[in-house]
Structure 1
Amino acid sequence: MAEPNRQSGENEERIIEIEIERLRPFKEHLFQVKDDKEMFLLQESIEKYSILNPLIVRPVPDGYYEIISGHRRKHAAEKLGYRKVPVIIRVLSEDDSILSMVDSNLHRERISYSEKAFAYKLKNDVLKRKSGRKKSQVDYKKPRKRSIDIISENCGDSPKQVQRYISLTKLIPEMLQKLDDEIISFCPAVEIAALKENEQRELLKAMDYAQAIPSLSQAQRIKQLSKEKQLSLEKMEEIMCEVKKGEITRVAFTNE
């Protein structure tokens, strides 16, 4: 059943119901849709109250629609046997779609380090592109904010913290997974992200050899050796084998 019209500012937006089979995921969507506890709770809510917040979609060729916001709601509804879901259709550019997708997901209570990192990077890239508009569109009387500052204001993290998150996108997948799994802590991971890809892979070997994870001070020393072009597997193994109470947390894992 279609819901009544709602207004947004001066423009009237109409909520309609669309067949799920006509919906497509947004190709830039980077947030995981998992059958976890949160999904179970979402299904319970939809089963009890229906979908309270309509999906945001944009039209694409051949009568289909891309989901900008609502991938998890669509998945939950599909599992419950829904054939149609309520949506608001908006005509959005690629960049505006990305910004809307990122902003609608960053408010979630649980979001992985990697999701947040790539979301910040994606938004930062879009804002930088938008800031490169024609000179005639720029008001030089007003100071222009950095894209990092805009993200900070919208998301609550300091500009420095936003930059730290973006740096995490340089981690190799195996290292990023250890961060998401909370094997590696956030601050050491930021330091490790400055290493070259082959150095990160060598560090994984050193971690496996020592059966240890780097503390912040160890990660900083490894990063410094890399900057000085003096880093080697042997030196990383030596650092990782140091045992200092309260500085290293030892864990057993296999480097696969």
Structure 2
Amino acid sequence: MKSSAKKVELAPYDDLFSTEESRQDAKLEKIREIPLSELHPFKNHPFKVKDDEAMMETADSVRQYGVLVPAIARPDPEGGYELVAGHRRHRASELAEKETMPVIVRDLDDDAATIIMVDSNLQRESLLPSERAFAYRMKLEAIKHQGERSDLTSRQVGEKSQTSIQLVASQAGESQRQVQRYIRLTELIPELLDMVDEKKIALNPAYELSFLKKEEQRDLLDAMDSEQATPSLSQAQRLKKYSQEGHLTLDMMRVIMGEEKKSDLDKVTFTSDTLRKYFPKSYTPQRMQETIIKLLEAWQKKRQRDQER
């Protein structure tokens, strides 16, 4: 005969004797000291971690005081943890010869982790154009994947609903157009994007060049090298136009890059050897420049007086 008694689920022993305060405390995030060797970089992390002067200063600080702000990481299915925020602190800890660093471990999906990773780095003052470009692109894709999640909807930025690109722009303090232009830079081949980071190519010409096909961009590198020139905005716009019309060739690129720019036509350059002949040896370049300006001003005044006679 079957028993008519219903199954009763008993609470775990620990729960029976735990307080509400202790149960809430168990839910709070804990800061853990995790070995540096168990922390792996975020996949496709767009921000460069360099051993520059700023990094050496950070390493000195970590050596003296430790890492003051915990990093954020998530469990890595293949073992250890994937860093979400704190890549520079991790490197500084390595340079300071630390074995562990404080980390907050969170269970995050790819999109949530990407947004935290981007936002934590966009606060830095000096970001390279390539870093900003790939960061905006990654965050935009993550927000699109998340769709209408409540923590990413209009309540975060006001009552009016926003598209994904508008949300990225407003949170970054940029115009929507500027964010779109940065994202467009990710279409440049690495060699051209490096030149943008190195300020050899300005942002506006770089945006126009991003519309060239990849093979055309590689040919452009050849033309730039042979003519020892980088494209101005007007030249980049013409290159884009010819590309879209299907008429852009390597020879045409070389012709365009070989043009004398207006800025070059407006510029007069004297070598120091030429000027030294007219000044005492004790004159510094700055003093020579000041003297030349005074002479030109005096000549201009004399010319004006002669014309008034």
TM-score (norm 2): 0.70
Which residue of the partner structure matches residue 129 of structure 1? Answer: 145
> How far did 1:224 drift?
0.9
In structure 2, stretches of 5+ residues that fail to align are 1-26, 154-158, 266-309
**Counterpart mapping for 1:112-191 below 5 A:** 112-131=128-147, 144-191=161-208
Alpha-carbon contact 1:56-1:87 (below 8 Å) kept? yes
Which residue of the partner structure matches residue 69 of structure 1? Answer: 85
**Cα deviations by residue, 1:191-241 (Å, 9 ceiling, x for unpaired):** 000100111111112111211111001101111111121211222211111
> How far did 1:14 drift?
2.0
Q: Indicate the larger mover: 97-106 or 54-63.
A: 54-63
> How far did 1:132 drift?
7.0
> How far did 1:121 drift?
0.7
Matched, 1:99 2:79: no
**Cα 1:190/1:244, change in 2 over 3 Å:** same
**Given the alignment, which residue of 57, 62, 80 partners 2:73?**
57
Indicate the structure (1 or 2) with the bigger Cα radius of gyration. 2
Distance (whole Å) between structure 2 residues aligned to residue 61 and residue 218 of structure 1: 50
SS in 2 for 1:204: helix
Alpha-carbon contact 2:60-2:96 (below 8 Å) kept? no
Distance (whole Å) between structure 1 residues aligned to residue 141 and residue 210 of structure 2: 19
> How far did 1:79 drift?
1.6
**Cα 1:63/1:207, change in 2 over 3 Å:** closer
**Cα deviations by residue, 1:149-208 (Å, 9 ceiling, x for unpaired):** 111111112110100010000001111111111111111000000100111111112111
Q: For 1:175, give the aligned amino acid.
A: L
**Quick check: which one's helix share is greater?**
2
Which residue of the partner structure matches residue 33 of structure 2? Answer: 17
**Given the alignment, which residue of 46, 52, 64 partners 2:62?**
46
Distance (whole Å) between structure 1 residues aligned to residue 168 and residue 128 of structure 2: 18
**Given the alignment, which residue of 241, 252, 258 partners 1:235?**
252
Q: For 1:227, give the aligned amino acid.
A: Q
Which residue of the partner structure matches residue 50 of structure 2? Answer: 34
SS in 2 for 1:39: helix
> How far did 1:62 drift?
6.3
> How far did 1:36 drift?
0.8
Q: For 2:39, give the aligned amino acid.
A: L
Alpha-carbon contact 2:140-2:165 (below 8 Å) kept? yes
Distance (whole Å) between structure 2 residues aligned to residue 247 and residue 129 of structure 1: 48
> How far did 1:37 drift?
1.2
Distance (whole Å) between structure 1 residues aligned to residue 231 and residue 90 of structure 2: 40
Distance (whole Å) between structure 1 residues aligned to residue 253 and residue 104 of structure 2: 54
Higher RCO, Cα 8 Å, sep 6+: 1
Q: Indicate the larger mover: 231-240 or 170-179.
A: 231-240
Alpha-carbon contact 1:215-1:247 (below 8 Å) kept? no
In structure 1, stretches of 5+ residues that fail to align are 1-10, 249-256
**Quick check: which one's strand share is greater?**
1
Distance (whole Å) between structure 2 residues aligned to residue 63 and residue 174 of structure 1: 35
Distance (whole Å) between structure 2 residues aligned to residue 244 and residue 71 of structure 1: 43
**Cα deviations by residue, 1:67-104 (Å, 9 ceiling, x for unpaired):** 11111111111121111111111111111111111111
**Cα 1:246/1:62, change in 2 over 3 Å:** closer
Which residue of the partner structure matches residue 23 of structure 2? Answer: none
